[in-house]
Amino acid sequence: MEKLLCPSMMCADFGDLAGEVSRLEKAGADLFHLDMMDGQFVPNYGMGLQDVEYICSHASIPCDVHMMCLTPGNYVEKLAALGAKLIYIHAEADPHAARTMQKIKDAGAKAGLALNPGTGVAAVEPLLNLADYVLAMTVNPGFAGQKYLPFVDEKLAELAQKKEKYGYKLVIDGACSLQVIARLSRQGVDGFVLGTSALFGKGRSYAEIMPELRAL
């Protein structure tokens, strides 16, 4: 199974963002992962609409947007118009998640469902019918550099087992170290959001690191 390697662009060098996009694409990135936060759903702020627009306009690979925001339905059509090909909303942030996920599809993007570490599969299973991608958080959302939460393993196994029934791809976000990527890729996880645990700030080129990650 081919891994989806998804650099988290919040970790990129914003002083040379066009160069980062180019270098990551040449190194073999599959998808750029863009975090939007509103300071309410999570206690932090991430990338803005102008960042999404800039990266989408400079990228030749697809971009996703991970909305760690309340009322995500207010933004999905704008994000799709800016070029986002996949939009994740949090089930916990939207009481009308099914409607919002359908709105994403109607806007021409893939619908993604993001789950916090403490959210069980049973609580969101009806929404899996609408999900093209499921993003399982393996740390509490909002900050880079956290430790992997081992209790999510059981949920990942359940989500991997249900992939065929519902037809989604399973991606994890948070503390994606080399060891985590190697272990979970053998257990049915399709994609990995790459931050400081495996890709950024390593003092080595992306062209060296990315093929090593793909080979795990």
Give the catalytic positions in this structure.
35, 173
Q: Which residues contact 6 (CB under 8 A, 6 or more apart)?
A: 29, 30, 31, 32, 33, 64, 171, 191, 192, 193, 194
The CB-based long-range contact list for 107-111 (8 Å cut-off, 24+ gap) reads 107/76, 107/77, 107/80, 107/81, 108/80, 109/76, 109/79, 109/80, 109/84, 109/85, 110/85, 110/86, 111/86, 111/87
Asked if 53 contacts 80 with a C-beta cutoff of 8 angstroms, the reply is no
Asked if 93 contacts 69 with a C-beta cutoff of 8 angstroms, the reply is yes
Q: How far apart are CA 146 and CA 138, in angstroms?
A: 9
User: If you write DSSP's letter for every residue of 141-169 in order, what string do you get?
Assistant: TT-SSPPP-GGGHHHHHHHHHHHHHHT-E
Tell me the backbone φ, ψ of residue 66, rounded to 5 degrees.
-100, 105
